[in-house]
């Protein structure tokens, strides 16, 4: 039953997927601790320490049955979270109690479990990001040829296409995917390193046998699903790893923020909008409103994630010598919240791009309103070819353009620039062809080809490589 008398994170309570929420849950975290203790004991036994099969079996039988209330009772007395879990595990495994955590330091379980959670979190993100990329590519291809008004400085600029614009967001997401892929493939394990990273306690256990200690490190690393441990560590793995991962998540947040902000602006123009449900309410007071609340949620969460690499940079740079504990409480908040936030952002982003409403008539109307200005150079060149003087034609267009703009802004008139040009004798030789000159499709350059070449050359190979991950069902039904 939900407790409404205590604060709960809105990320896990309202938005995030069950999969990501579980990855950062106390149950997952502390089950990993027990798995790490089990694998350490197994490896120590295999390498000759006096650990019995009965002790191993006892630990194996109690991997997940954690009484958090009991742990809390013990921690109030011991004031140490890892020791509290060791004691509780020992109560369930009395025969194994003497060898639980043998030779290890707290960071053996805390750091290694966090690296596993980081990896699993990145794999969840990777799967969602891949499917988001696929859907973006489909929408980009769908609108590859639809001309739309371009903007620089949010001022009307040369036309592009809706699909070409979508391909720009898609390329950002592709870059993010490549960075994420690198971090997944190169994430190391902390491994079995001892109190200050020297492995001195294990050298003592194995009577100075350095080869066995190195083998122990690799055995546990491989059993936990990693190909390599860090070559050297202090008590902790270098917190620079956190920085690198949060930088990738920040990059995803930046890409999402860019798209969501542009969509909010396009929504104001009436050209492209978020999905809108029949019973959805935009405002408690203004019943007519259709606020872009999904995009606003993305921007709100993305702003938080974008700020986190600075936090991680400060944490790494402030780790004195072999370790200080001022990273602990900070990282308990930052790491889970970053992943939960990105998980939500990707789900909302998919919901938007999947059901994005494009209004071609509004796009065309807005484009045609500005097209006369953009077509003036083409009109001038056509008039020159028909025998006109380029400088005279340029001055005439300048005068007509400024008069048109003044009429629009001062008197609210419609754009009559083409009529002004048609009625100017300087342009008489081409007056009948002017309407043909301003066909929007002639102003979009190679946009359609660029979109389709990009999808073919960059996106399709990625989707083929990870075809086993393609499943839009990864975006489970959450509140968006």
Instruction: Give me the active site residues, please.
Output: 153, 283
- Orientation of helix 81-92 relative to helix 106-142, angle to 10°: 100
Question: Whats the size of the chain, residue-wise?
Answer: 480
Rg of the chain, C-alpha, whole Å: 31
Tracing tokens 């005439």 back to the chain, one arrives at: 396
Check if the beta carbon of residue 100 is closer than 8 Å to that of residue 90.
yes
**Residue 453 CB coordination number (10 Å):** 12
- Name the strand (E) or helix (H) holding 158: strand 155-161
Tracing tokens 């602006």 back to the chain, one arrives at: 265
Report which of 59, 17, 22 is spatially closest to residue 41, judged by C-alpha positions.
59
Check if the beta carbon of residue 291 is closer than 8 Å to that of residue 282.
yes
- CA quadruple 102, 104, 108, 109: dihedral positive or negative? positive
Token pair in block for residue 161: 């296409």
What are the residues whose beta carbons fall under 8 Å from the beta carbon of 428, sequence distance 6 or more?
none
Return phi, psi of residue 234, to 5°.
-90, -145
First-to-last CA distance in the chain?
23
Burial label, 299 (beta-carbon count in 10 A; 0-12, 13-18, 19+): buried
What are the residues whose beta carbons fall under 8 Å from the beta carbon of 53, sequence distance 6 or more?
none
Check if the beta carbon of residue 24 is closer than 8 Å to that of residue 117.
yes
């Amino acid at each position: 039953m939900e407790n409404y008398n205590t604060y709960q994170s809105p990320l896990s309570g309202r938005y995030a997927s069950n999969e990501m929420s579980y990855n950062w849950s106390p149950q997952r975290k502390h089950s990993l601790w027990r798995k790490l203790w089990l694998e350490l004991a197994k490896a120590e036994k295999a390498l000759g320490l006096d650990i019995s099969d009965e002790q191993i079996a006892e630990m194996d039988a109690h991997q997940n049955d954690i009484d958090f209330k009991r742990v809390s009772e013990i921690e109030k007395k011991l004031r140490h979270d890892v020791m509290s879990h060791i004691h509780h595990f020992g109560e369930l495994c009395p025969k194994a109690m003497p060898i639980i955590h043998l030779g290890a330091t707290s960071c053996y379980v805390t750091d290694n479990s966090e690296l596993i959670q980081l990896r699993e979190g990145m794999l969840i993100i990777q799967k969602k990001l891949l499917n988001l990329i696929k859907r973006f590519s489909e929408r980009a291809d769908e609108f590859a040829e639809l001309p739309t008004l371009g903007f620089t400085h949010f001022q009307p600029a040369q036309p592009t296409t809706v699909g070409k614009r979508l391909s720009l967001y898609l390329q950002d997401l592709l870059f993010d995917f490549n960075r994420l892929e690198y971090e997944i493939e190169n994430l190391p394990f902390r491994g079995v390193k001892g109190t200050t990273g020297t492995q001195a306690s294990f050298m003592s256990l194995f009577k100075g046998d350095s080869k066995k200690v190195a083998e122990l490190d690799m055995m546990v690393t491989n059993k936990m699903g990693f190909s390599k441990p860090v070559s050297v560590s202090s008590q902790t793995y270098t917190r620079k790893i956190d920085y690198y991962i949060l930088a990738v998540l920040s990059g995803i947040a930046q890409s999402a923020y860019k798209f969501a902000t542009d969509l909010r602006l396009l929504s104001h123009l009436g050209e492209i909008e978020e999905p809108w449900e029949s019973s959805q309410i935009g405002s408690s007071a203004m019943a007519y409103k259709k606020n872009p609340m999904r995009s606003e949620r993305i921007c709100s969460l993305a702003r938080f994630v974008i700020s986190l690499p600075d936090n991680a940079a400060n944490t790494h740079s402030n780790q004195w010598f072999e370790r200080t504990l001022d990273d602990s409480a900070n990282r308990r908040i930052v790491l889970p919240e970053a992943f939960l936030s990105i998980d939500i952002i990707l789900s909302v982003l998919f919901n938007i791009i999947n059901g994005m409403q494009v209004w071609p008539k509004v796009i065309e109307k807005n484009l045609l309103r500005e097209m006369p200005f953009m077509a003036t150079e083409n009109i001038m060149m056509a008039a020159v070819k028909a025998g006109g003087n380029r400088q005279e034609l340029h001055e005439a267009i300048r005068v007509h353009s400024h008069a048109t703009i003044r009429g629009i802004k001062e008197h609210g008139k419609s754009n009559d620039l083409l009529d002004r040009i048609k009625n100017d004798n300087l342009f008489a030789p081409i007056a009948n062809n002017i309407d043909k000159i301003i066909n929007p499709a002639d102003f979009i350059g190679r946009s359609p080809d660029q979109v389709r070449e990009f999808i073919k050359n960059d996106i399709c190979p990625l989707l083929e490589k990870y075809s086993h991950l393609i499943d839009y069902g990864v975006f489970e039904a959450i509140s968006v």
